[in-house]
Amino acid sequence: MTSWFGKKRTPDGTEIVRHDEVETQIDIMGKNTARFVKSRKAAYQKLFGEALGVSHELLPLIPHIDVYTFKRTSKKDGVHQVVYSLVTGGMSDLEMTLPRRAPKDVPRRVELIFYCAEPRGEYISTLRWVAHFPHNAKSWLGHGHTMPNGNPQEPFWGSTELDTLLFMPPIVGKDQSLPFELQTDGQPVHFLWVVPLTTAECNYKLEKGFDAILDLFQQHRHRHVFDPHRRSYV
């Protein structure tokens, strides 16, 4: 699935859904999902440790989306490097609106995860916007879905080429265990890894399929930590 371009199908069979009218949901009825916060925090602490900080959503929106910042140290080629994980909290409070024909194993509750070298406010704002999108649009996000940055799309976060987001299972093995650590109303919660793409890479994925973009990443040894200066693989 992608957005804004009119309902049709791409060569790989992906349905393109148009979301011209997306309405923000305001919590005027006082809907309370605070009961999910405690279990989510416990699951996150088990996976990441203590959060460095939490960006709280100030508006009374449905669902309430906070963004947590976690810090890890990884080792590559003998060199230790700091990696930050930005993780949404609250997107999974509500089920997404899946199509009736969706397989039963498709995640209905998800949170977003983004790996970066430094936490920045613009990353957090984008994650919060994306987390609200499927609920406001009465739609869904899943593995292999793409979302362009506007119509016409513009590059994200100081990049000159990366103007589309791809959603994938997290590449860090430990983060893949979230469904075993966190259930909301009896349903497992999955992470979607947010991966910036170029238009050319997105078109490549839409033409050849999700597996093709995975092969492309493998060929170029794509790093999971966001690099705003990355050039297109296509």
What's the CA gap between 4 and 63, in Å, rounded? 23
What's the CA gap between 188 and 22, in Å, rounded? 27
Q: DSSP string covering 138-161, please?
A: T----TT-EEESBTTB--STT-SS
What's the CA gap between 148 and 114, in Å, rounded? 17
Domain positions in the chain are 2-219
Contacts of 104 (CB under 8 A, 6+ apart): none
- Beta pairing partners, 112: 192
What's the CA gap between 164 and 149, in Å, rounded? 6
Angle 220-221-224 from CA coordinates, rounded to 5°: 125
Q: Walk along the chain (234 residues) in steps of 10 and give the mean pLDDT of each run.
A: 46 54 47 79 95 93 94 78 95 93 90 96 96 94 92 88 95 93 94 96 93 94 92 93
Looking up tokens 């009736």 gives 100
